[in-house]
Structure 1
Amino acid sequence: MPTRKESVASEVVAAALAGALSATALHPLEVIKTNLVAKDDTCAEDKDERDDNTGNGMIATAQALYKEGGVARFFRGVQFSAVQSSIEKALYFFSYTCLKQVHSTFSGGAAMNTLTNLILGYAAEWSHLPITLPIDSITTAIQTSSKGDGAFQVLMTMLSSKNQKYYNAISAYYLLCLKPALQYTIYEQVKTVWLRSKSRRALTAVEAFALGMVARTVATILVFPFLRAKVLLQTQGSQQNNTIEGGVSKTTTMVLNEQWNRAGLAGLYQGLSPELTRGVLSAALMLMIKERIAEKVQHVFSTKS
């Protein structure tokens, strides 16, 4: 049997590799989603651009991006996205696994209920933000840049800017952090019940894929408005309507109110379609890969023991 340290190691290694692979494979959808979500129709420039273009849909956005830079446009910033996803998933699962083991120790091995799972997942999500949020800001800037600059050029511009704020979207994470907590809570709870009913220790690849899709869909729909607010806040440097009098940056609440007043639910959920497509496939693919890698790593540890 693997030790606790080996169990944590297998979770971290599996999550890091799975996160990087899924982010790389689905990066084109990430680019489409980010550019669609970043469109702010309360901005006069965006209104004019929308009138001159074919619209704000997923296909229209993809066509516009292809005209702008061909196939390569859909892979701009892929290296940053892979690194961010790898670090994010590794730190999340490291924190989550450690917190679960602490809970098990103090509860005498009692199973976690749904609320406890949510709390631990929420706490684990905050563990990686100090590192991954700046990378996310850089990735968003690279993906939404329409100047034709390469990833390195955008990075150098951001690093040389004295006014660049890498954490200006942190307020969106007060609730956005619930997404992975909800996703993995749903996944873990259903997984536990399913495996117990089947008297097995691991999910099959198909089971992990299907369960990952369901869990990500529910979590994404619940917190998507805050993801939209996060992207709008991250791109505020190029959008004058994201500042108020005195040059003070808008808050998440202000951004959400603007989108609600502009178009109601449609304003809050603009870009949901590509995010669901990318997010669901990403979660399902990542969890499927993670389950297989974790199982192999655990087997290696067991053999060495």
Structure 2
Amino acid sequence: MNLDEETVIAGVAAGVGAGLSTVVFFPLELIKTKLQAQVKHKGEQRPEEPVFNGFSDVWTHLVGQGGVGSLFHGLPPTLFRSVVCDSLYFTLSTTLVKRVQQRLGRELVATEAIVCGVISACATQLFVHPIDTVTTKILADQSESSPVQLVKRIYRENGIAGFWKGYAASMILSLNPALQFTTFDRAKEACLNKLNKKELTAAQLFILGMVTKAFTLTIIYPLIRAKVRMQASKENDKHATIVSSFADIIENEGVPGLYKGLKEQIGKSTMSTALLLTCKEKIVYLITKLLRRDNIRRNQTI
């Protein structure tokens, strides 16, 4: 198999896995985004903004306002973002890792693989971040504005730069997928060697995905909370930078506020990422197997 085939397979498999995991776990994505975007202001909570203390509060509010269907408000743009983001990331990272390995003439060590992942994630975010900003607004917005209205509002309030609001934090957060997927790949290789297998079962892949995601997520979660709050902030809010977003959360909610929504994030992200990685690995394995079988048949007929 040549490099182009392997790269395309990795990108397509990641896109399919991302799409499936997004649809399955979307209600959790919506709930955790609303929790992350909210800041409780001391004595100045706006009356039109509901106060959410946890998962059950958001669930009750959404279902009470619009029925079960409201739990899927914002699914189309979120699905689009997930498919584009993961497809692009795995396409870039697969290409970069292969190129670096060819240049060095050896397999990459963990730190080198993480660096390649960070570079790929930064490049991916440069393209995907405007989609992420609009999607975050859609999920956090209480006014039920349409995507087009939100795009116009973002442009009116902050100009074209508003679509890259929080990009600096995303650059730092690029360590998250790089560390997570590198840890997953190394853990998978270790399990394959120890079990003397060519392929892990879906259950084994799922557990590995959950463990590696939970590990990396716990480390970088405060930055995720600050980034989401910054992207969801309205005009004239003081959350223009990642530092001011951190300061405002701590001022109003204390240090524990930096971890608001962590349980929901872990619950959603660990299962979602585990499903994504399981689907990706199985799709890559099956397509690779089919292509190799087809190549063998072609060679036999020549």
Q: What TM-score results when the alignment is normalised by the length of structure 1? A: 0.89
Kept in 1: contact 2:133–2:165 (CA 8 A):
no
Match in the other structure for 1:42: 41
Match in the other structure for 1:120: 116
Q: For residue 35 of structure 1, report the CA deviation from its aligned partner.
A: 0.3
Kept in 2: contact 1:26–1:282 (CA 8 A):
yes
Local SS of the residue matching 2:200: coil
Question: Residue type matched to 2:266 in 1?
Answer: L
Equivalents in 2 of 1:71, 1:157: separation in Å? Answer: 29
Local SS of the residue matching 1:237: coil
1:302 and 2:285 are equivalent in the alignment: no
Kept in 2: contact 1:228–1:268 (CA 8 A):
yes
Match in the other structure for 2:25: 26
- Aligned residues with identical type, % of pairs: 27
| Aligned residues between the structures | 293
Q: For residue 4 of structure 1, report the CA deviation from its aligned partner.
A: 2.1
Q: For residue 114 of structure 1, report the CA deviation from its aligned partner.
A: 2.0
Q: Which of 219, 222, 227 lines up with 2:224 in the alignment?
A: 227
Local SS of the residue matching 1:242: coil
Equivalents in 1 of 2:45, 2:60: separation in Å? Answer: 17
Q: How does 1:105-116 map to 2 (within 5 A)?
A: 105-110=102-107, 112-116=108-112
Q: How does 1:72-83 map to 2 (within 5 A)?
A: 72-83=69-80
Kept in 2: contact 1:81–1:139 (CA 8 A):
yes
Match in the other structure for 1:93: 90
Local SS of the residue matching 2:250: helix
Match in the other structure for 1:170: 167
Match in the other structure for 2:300: none
Local SS of the residue matching 1:147: coil
Equivalents in 2 of 1:208, 1:262: separation in Å? Answer: 40
Shifted more, 27-36 versus 92-101: the winner is 92-101
Structure-2 change in CA distance of 1:222 and 1:74 (3 Å): same
Local SS of the residue matching 2:282: helix
Q: How does 1:1-305 map to 2 (within 5 A)?
A: 2-42=1-41, 45-46=44-45, 53=51, 55-110=52-107, 112-149=108-145, 151-152=146-147, 154-155=149-150, 157-158=152-153, 161=156, 163-164=158-159, 165-237=162-234, 240-242=236-238, 249=240, 251-305=241-295
Q: For residue 155 of structure 1, report the CA deviation from its aligned partner.
A: 4.5
Q: What TM-score results when the alignment is normalised by the length of structure 2? A: 0.89
Write out per-residue CA displacement over residues 12-61 of structure 1, whole angstroms, 9 at most, x where no aligned residue.
110011111111111110000000001112375537678x75x4111112
Question: Residue type matched to 1:56 in 2?
Answer: N
Equivalents in 2 of 1:157, 1:74: separation in Å? Answer: 25
Equivalents in 1 of 2:139, 2:149: separation in Å? Answer: 10
Q: For residue 190 of structure 1, report the CA deviation from its aligned partner.
A: 0.7
Kept in 1: contact 2:209–2:270 (CA 8 A):
yes
Kept in 2: contact 1:19–1:89 (CA 8 A):
yes
Kept in 1: contact 2:39–2:253 (CA 8 A):
no
Question: Residue type matched to 1:294 in 2?
Answer: V
Q: For residue 81 of structure 1, report the CA deviation from its aligned partner.
A: 0.8
Question: Residue type matched to 1:39 in 2?
Answer: Q
Q: Which runs of 5+ in 2 are unaligned?
A: 296-302
Kept in 1: contact 2:97–2:116 (CA 8 A):
yes
Equivalents in 1 of 2:83, 2:73: separation in Å? Answer: 17
Match in the other structure for 2:298: none
Kept in 1: contact 2:26–2:72 (CA 8 A):
yes
Q: Which runs of 5+ in 1 are unaligned?
A: 244-248
